[in-house]
C-alpha cells in the first residue's frame, strides 16, 4: 500500500468535516476562523481552502458579513435531498448493474465489504463509505450529469444519514437493506435493484420525518 501525503488544506477539510458530521459545530453560528486556525495548527490560507471546499459540499454557507456558518439541518432540506435521490438513484443503479464490467463489480464488492465491516459504527468514516457504495452502484451507467447531481445530493445527505442511524437497531436494518441491494446489483437484477433502492430511500426519509422538526 502506498503512502498518501495530504496537504494541510486536505487535513483541515477532513477534520472540520468530521466535526460537522458529528454535530460538534453548531449550525447558524459564525465560524471563528482565527480560533479554528489556531486549534488546527494551520494558517489561514489552507483553512480557507478547506472551508470553501466544505461550502461546495453543501455543509457550510458563506455570508459576506458573517463569514462561514454550518448549514442547518431541516426537514425541508431532508425532503428535498431524499426525494431527489429517490428520483435519480434507483434508475441509474438499475442501468449501472446491467452495464457493469468485471472491474466495476470488483469495485462495488470492495466498497460493500468495507461498508458491512463498519455497519455498527455511527461515524463520519462509515457515512463516507455509505456514500461511496451508493455512488459506485450508479457510476457504470455512464450518465455524467446524473452522477454529478447524485454526488452533490449524497454529500448533502450525509448528516441526515448519520442522524437516521443514531436510534438503536437502525444499523441492523441498514445492514440488511444494503446486503439485499448488493446481491440484486451483482446479479444484474435491474428491476429488483430499482425497487430496493426506492424502498431504502423512502424508509430513511420516513424515519427522518419522525425525528426532524421545523
* Domain annotation for the chain: domains and CATH numbers: 8-70 (1.10.10.10), 75-211 (1.20.120.530)
Assess whether pLDDT exceeds 70 at residue 5.
Answer: no
Mean pLDDT along residues 133-160? 94
Q: Please classify residue 160 by burial: count the beta carbons closer than 10 Å to its beta carbon, then call 0-12 exposed, 13-18 middle and 19+ buried.
A: buried
Q: Which residues pair with 61 in a beta bridge?
A: 69
User: What span, in angstroms and rounded, lies between the C-alpha atoms of 183 and 181?
Assistant: 6
For the chain, the average pLDDT equals 89
User: What span, in angstroms and rounded, lies between the C-alpha atoms of 21 and 18?
Assistant: 5
Report the range out of 39-43, 55-59, 194-198, 207-211 with the highest average pLDDT.
194-198
Assess whether pLDDT exceeds 70 at residue 92.
Answer: yes
User: What span, in angstroms and rounded, lies between the C-alpha atoms of 204 and 54?
Assistant: 24
Provide the pLDDT confidence category of residue 163 given band limits of 50, 70 and 90: confident
Alpha helices in 58-123 (DSSP H): 75-99, 102-117
**C-alpha cell recorded at residue 65:** 458579513
Assess whether pLDDT exceeds 50 at residue 1.
Answer: no
**Reported pTM:** 0.83
Crossing angle of helices 44-57/33-40, nearest 10°?
110
* CA dist list (Å): 197 to 179, 191, 194: 12, 10, 5
Mean pLDDT along residues 101-109? 97
Closest by Cα among 23, 71, 81, 73 to 205:
81
Q: What are phi and psi of 139, to 5 degrees?
A: -55, -45
**C-alpha cell recorded at residue 145:** 450529469
Percentage of the residues of the chain whose pLDDT score is greater than 70: 94
Closest by Cα among 206, 88, 85, 56 to 154:
85
Q: Tens digit of pLDDT for each residue in 28-80?
A: 778 889 999 999 999 999 999 999 999 988 889 998 877 899 988 889 999 99
Percentage of the residues of the chain whose pLDDT score is greater than 90: 55
Amino acid at each position: 500500500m502506498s503512502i498518501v501525503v495530504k496537504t494541510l488544506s486536505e487535513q483541515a477539510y477532513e477534520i472540520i468535516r468530521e466535526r460537522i458530521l458529528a454535530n460538534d459545530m453548531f449550525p447558524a453560528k459564525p465560524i471563528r476562523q482565527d480560533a479554528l486556525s489556531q486549534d488546527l495548527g494551520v494558517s489561514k490560507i489552507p483553512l480557507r481552502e478547506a472551508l470553501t471546499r466544505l461550502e461546495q459540499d453543501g455543509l457550510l454557507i458563506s455570508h459576506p458579513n458573517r463569514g462561514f456558518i454550518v448549514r442547518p439541518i431541516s426537514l425541508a432540506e431532508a425532503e428535498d435531498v431524499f426525494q431527489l435521490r429517490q428520483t435519480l438513484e434507483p434508475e441509474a443503479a438499475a442501468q449501472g448493474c446491467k452495464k457493469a464490467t468485471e472491474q466495476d463489480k470488483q469495485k462495488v464488492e470492495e466498497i460493500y465489504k468495507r461498508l458491512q465491516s463498519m455497519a455498527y459504527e455511527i461515524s463520519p468514516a462509515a457515512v463516507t463509505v455509505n456514500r461511496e457504495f451508493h455512488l459506485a452502484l450508479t457510476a457504470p451507467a455512464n450518465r455524467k450529469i446524473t452522477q454529478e447531481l447524485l454526488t452533490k445530493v449524497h454529500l448533502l445527505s450525509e448528516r441526515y444519514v448519520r442522524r437516521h442511524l443514531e436510534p438503536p437497531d437502525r444499523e441492523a436494518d441498514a445492514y440488511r437493506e444494503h446486503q439485499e441491494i448488493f446481491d440484486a446489483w451483482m446479479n444484474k437484477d435491474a428491476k429488483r435493484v430499482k425497487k430496493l433502492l426506492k424502498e431504502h430511500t423512502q424508509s430513511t426519509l420516513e424515519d427522518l420525518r419522525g425525528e426532524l422538526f421545523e
